[in-house]
């Protein structure tokens, strides 16, 4: 892992991971205060979609609702922004065109490490940027062409955070560049970490896509036409192991990117820690809903990570 001290970007991801860990803990201990106004405000902030629909909220709180179907906005921003950063890095690698000064200035501030004029190609960074862009494009297409959204909502704070999330993530990939320095040509830098990372990325992406297809089929008929917007018990695939395999696969995708960075980037490990707590909270909320709504739902099934949590 990278050496000493926490950079500004490390502090950002540490705070985000800490906030979601705290939210998960608070949720677990606040169930005895379900009628308090503070509990309702907290639940309104952490829930979205189906886990929010039965929350007894005051009407004024609904002013901050944003339709959950707007999830595609996040991935559209990511495709554009991370595609732009990838193009800049490709120009730096193959055309030796320096990135704009405003971008290097931001990265310098976030890392605390002055940028250099070296144009040595960095396979790890390019691969992470490419995989991140592919992931965003796939999720965008799934939101637009596969998923069937109900009238569920998310909080305005969640929406604003989601819009900025992939911008920060793209910058984080650049901030991790200095700990994954390679020498020689791109092909000569290829090693088992890159192969394992890409392999895990492909497997996790297929798992996530399969899970999202199964969720969509709960609302469509054999012809593919939408028959209902009601929530039904998910079955098949990895839903037989955990309540939310699509969240588990998201964690695996980020672990795969850590492998591509040869497990050397402390910053990216902090990103994985954030994703772990963020997806664990979302999975726990879904898991509780399934148990309360479906009498036949297996009580021994885990919410997020098979056989663990």
- Structure confidence at residue 37 as a pLDDT band (50, 70, 90): confident
- Provide the β-strand partners of residue 242: 302
For 13, other C-beta atoms within 10 Å of its C-beta total 25
Domain that holds residue 231: 8-293
Strands (E), the chain: 65-67, 153-155
Q: Is residue 309 part of a domain?
A: no
Secondary element (H or E) of residue 31: none
Q: Is residue 299 part of a domain?
A: no
Lowest mean pLDDT among 21-30, 171-180, 187-196, 203-212: 171-180
SS3 104: helix
Residue 1 reports pLDDT greater than 60: no
Q: Is residue 62 part of a domain?
A: yes
Q: Is residue 99 part of a domain?
A: yes
Evaluated on CA atoms 52, 68, 141, 88, the torsion sign reads negative
- What's the half-sphere exposure (Cβ side, CA atoms, 13 Å) at 64? 18
Q: Where are the alpha helices (DSSP H) in the chain?
A: 8-29, 37-46, 71-90, 101-111, 123-145, 156-175, 186-189, 192-217, 245-260, 266-293
Length of the chain: 309
Model pLDDT for residues 90-136, shown as the tens digit of each residue: 999 899 888 999 999 999 999 988 876 556 678 999 999 999 999 99
Residue 242, pLDDT score:
97
- Structure confidence at residue 182 as a pLDDT band (50, 70, 90): low
Q: Is residue 1 part of a domain?
A: no
Cα–Cα distance between 217 and 148 in angstroms, integer?
9
- What's the half-sphere exposure (Cβ side, CA atoms, 13 Å) at 195? 5
Cα–Cα distance between 256 and 260 in angstroms, integer?
6
Q: Is residue 223 part of a domain?
A: yes
How many distinct structural domains can be found in the chain?
1
pTM: 0.94
Q: Is residue 307 part of a domain?
A: no
């Amino acid at each position: 892992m990278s050496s000493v001290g926490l950079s500004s970007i490390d502090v950002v991801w540490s705070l985000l991971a800490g906030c979601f860990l705290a939210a998960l803990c608070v949720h677990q201990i606040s169930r005895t205060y379900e009628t308090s106004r503070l509990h309702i405000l907290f639940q309104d902030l952490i829930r979205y979609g189906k886990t929010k629909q039965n929350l007894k909220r005051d009407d004024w709180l609904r002013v901050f609702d944003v339709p959950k179907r707007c999830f595609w906005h996040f991935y559209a921003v990511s495709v554009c922004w991370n595609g732009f950063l990838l193009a800049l890095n490709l120009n730096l690698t193959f055309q030796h065109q320096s990135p704009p000064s405003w971008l290097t200035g931001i990265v310098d501030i976030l890392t605390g490490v002055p940028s250099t004029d070296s144009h040595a190609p960095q396979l790890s960074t390019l691969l992470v940027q490419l995989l991140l862009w592919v992931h965003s494009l796939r999720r965008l297409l799934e939101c637009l062409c596969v998923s069937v959204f109900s009238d569920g909502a998310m909080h305005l704070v969640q929406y604003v955070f989601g819009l900025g999330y992939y911008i920060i993530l793209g910058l984080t990939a650049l901030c991790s560049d200095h700990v994954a320095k390679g020498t020689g040509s791109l092909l000569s830098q290829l090693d088992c970490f890159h192969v394992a990372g890409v392999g895990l990325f492909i497997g996790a992406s297929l798992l996530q896509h399969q899970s999202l297809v199964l969720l969509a089929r709960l609302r469509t008929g054999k012809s593919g036409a939408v028959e209902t917007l009601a929530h039904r018990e998910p079955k098949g695939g990895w839903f037989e192991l955990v309540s939310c395999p699509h969240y588990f696969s998201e964690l695996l995708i980020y672990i795969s990117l850590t492998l591509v960075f040869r497990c050397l980037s402390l910053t990216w490990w902090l990103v994985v820690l954030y994703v772990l707590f963020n997806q664990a909270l979302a999975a726990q909320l879904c898991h509780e809903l399934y148990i309360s709504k479906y009498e036949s739902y297996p009580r021994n099934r885990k919410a997020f990570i098979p056989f663990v949590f």
